[in-house]
Amino acid sequence: MRRTALCLSLAVAAALSGCAGTAPRVEPLSPESLAIVETLGLDADQIAVLDAKPLYKFSEAELGPYLAYMQKVEPSLPDRIVRIGRKNIGQPYELYLLGEFPVETYDPQPLYCLDRSDCVVFSEHSYAMALSHDWTSFFTMLQRIRYKDGEIGVATRNHYTEADWDVNNAWLVRDISAELAGDDAKEFSGTFDRAKFLKNRYKIDRDIPKEKLTTSYVPLSALPRVEPLLRNGDYVNVVVSSPKGGTYVPHVGLVAIGEDGTANFLHSTPPRVREEPIQAYVARRLEDKEKLEKEGKAVLVGFKFLRLEEDPIANLRKIDGAETPKVRFAAPQDAAGN
């Protein structure tokens, strides 16, 4: 069943309801955290409760002050991204979650959702929250990440991971796949027909030329050597290949380093957000490899890894100037898409 703005209020209901008999244990804040709360002028009791509550049960009003608190209590951006991502473990999964409503109606899904995610939504929200200090800055940053040049519209949304999202967010992350894999790096190419995609899915016409892209990835054979080089907050692109569909990226997530140094995959996947060792994810995906190959279906062949930039905001400021992050609505189109 399609949802529109309903999703915007579901987070509030979820935050108020919770699970019967499973109220989170509220721990007192440390003296250091209390000092931060006092400096920010926040409610210490509220922050303690929010610290114990899953992020996907937050209301919009609760998220703002918590992001301000997180900026101070976890000053490292990579660690803050992972901390926020882990706070969403258990968040229910739903595919094709977001659209442009109420800015546009081609895709009447809303511009954000707190109570559920798919793999892209989870990653984008984690990055945007970690880069923000209140509700407004989160919402604005989210749109800057989701859309090319921050222009909100279905035609400017980053639909293709390797050709749109990775390229348009070069201020945030940079592709280090070839650097990590060295001589073992593999390449794959794809042709992206955005005009055909928009026509088939949204029944709109856009004059967009086809684009051919060749990019590198880390094959599974090189993964054991690459894993120790991964860091918190790295962006993960899962690369698959099939005889009919070619090689492409259908799934994304984040690197989260475990306490024992294991490189984990933190991602939204049915039925909910989870964290697991990358090698465990690989083993699970390869269980039915022979069967999938016989059926001509896509099989896992490797990963692309993109490294979080040291100062994304400074990079973005060079692009957007004083308006950073610069967000605007797409220009109106006539019936022919001109």
The CATH number linked to 129 is 1.10.3670.10
CA distance 9 to 26: 25
Residues 6+ apart with CB under 8 A from 162: 190, 213, 215, 237, 248, 249, 304
Inform me whether the pLDDT recorded for 12 exceeds 80: no
Kindly state the tokens that stand for 282: 């690989």
329 is a domain residue: no
Position 14 confidence tier, pLDDT thresholds 50, 70, 90: very low
What pLDDT score was predicted for residue 22? Answer: 61
- Domain encompassing residue 60: 6-15+27-159
Residue range 210-255, pLDDT digits in tens: 999 999 999 999 999 999 999 999 999 999 999 988 999 999 999 9
Whether residue 31 is found in the same domain as residue 144: yes
Helix 77-86, helix 60-73: angle, nearest 10: 140
Whether residue 155 is found in the same domain as residue 176: no
Whether residue 207 is found in the same domain as residue 259: yes
319 is a domain residue: no
Position 38 confidence tier, pLDDT thresholds 50, 70, 90: very high
CA distance 44 to 80: 20
Distances (CA, A) of 217 to 173, 231, 233, 237, 298: 15, 17, 18, 9, 16
Residue range 134-183, pLDDT digits in tens: 999 999 999 999 999 999 999 999 999 999 999 999 999 999 999 999 99
Dihedral, CA of residue 290, residue 291, residue 295 and residue 299, to nearest 10 = -60
Number of continuous H segments (helices) and E segments (strands) in the chain: 14, 10
Look at strands 151-152 and 328-329 and give their pairing. parallel
CA distance 112 to 152: 12
Kindly state the tokens that stand for 252: 């994304």
**Mean pLDDT, to the nearest integer, of 46-54?**
97
Count the Cβ atoms, other than its own, within 10 Å of residue 260. 7
* Average pLDDT of every residue of the chain: 92
